[in-house]
Amino acid sequence: MKSILAKITVLVFLVLEVSCGGDIPDCPSKMCVLSGEWRLTQIYANGVLDTSIDLEKYKLTLIMPSPTTATTANFNRVNLSGVADTGTWTIGNNNTVLTLTPQTGISEPYIIKSYTPRKIVLVIERDVNKTGPDEFEYVLEPF
């Protein structure tokens, strides 16, 4: 009985190794890791979850840099009001800042607070001289 159980255990491990051992494309930079389609799922203003905003329309596509070693790539975005825009994106400051530069030319730097393949948390800090919240935190998930 132990012999059969041992063989089954070895067989299960071999099957799992083959099924999970596919080729992973080379990814030399954080840009190719972050590239993909993201949807906004939560917004926090000064640490408080804002449930008053409909986030359904917001979509951000960070296009894979080509070649994968490039330092700038394109993005497509649909904002909260449903208006689409395009531009370029980069990662800077030792891979801690994502900068979107729409075709309007006004750069939008976001601090990368955390990142996993299933979630990105971006923070934008506003000028303290402006009224309203000083910090916004955006939680994005792939779609």
pLDDT one-digit tens code per residue, 62-111 = 999 999 889 999 999 999 999 999 999 999 999 999 999 999 989 999 99
Q: Quick check: 22 pLDDT over 50?
A: no
Residue 4 within any structural domain of the chain: no
Q: What is the pLDDT of residue 122?
A: 98
Q: Looking at residue 60, which CATH number applies to its domain? A: 2.40.128.20
Pick the residue with more confidence: 116 or 7? 116
Query: pTM, whole model, 2 decimals?
Result: 0.78
Average pLDDT over residues 23-49: 86
Q: Based on the structure, what is the number of domains in the chain?
A: 1
Residue 85, strand partner residues: 77
Is 7 inside a domain boundary? no
What's the domain range around 91?
26-142
Q: Is residue 127 part of a domain?
A: yes
pLDDT of residue 103: 96
Q: Is residue 9 part of a domain?
A: no
| Dist CA 121 CA 107 (whole Å) | 18
Identify whether 82 is part of a domain.
yes
Residue 112: band (very low, low, confident or very high) from pLDDT cuts 50, 70, 90 = very high
Q: How many CA atoms lie within 13 A of 87 on its CB side?
A: 17
| Terminal CA-CA length for the chain | 47
- The DSSP secondary structure of the chain, one letter per residue, reads -HHHHHHHHHHHHHHHHHHH-PPPPP--SHHHHH-EEEEEEEEEETTEE--SS--TT-EEEEPPPSSTT-S-EEEEEE-TTS-EEEEEEEEETTTTEEEEEETT---EEEEEEEEETTEEEEEEEPPTTSSS-SEEEEEEEE-
Residue 30, C-beta contacts closer than 8 angstroms, at least 6 positions apart: 91, 95
Cα–Cα distance between 91 and 68 in angstroms, integer? 13
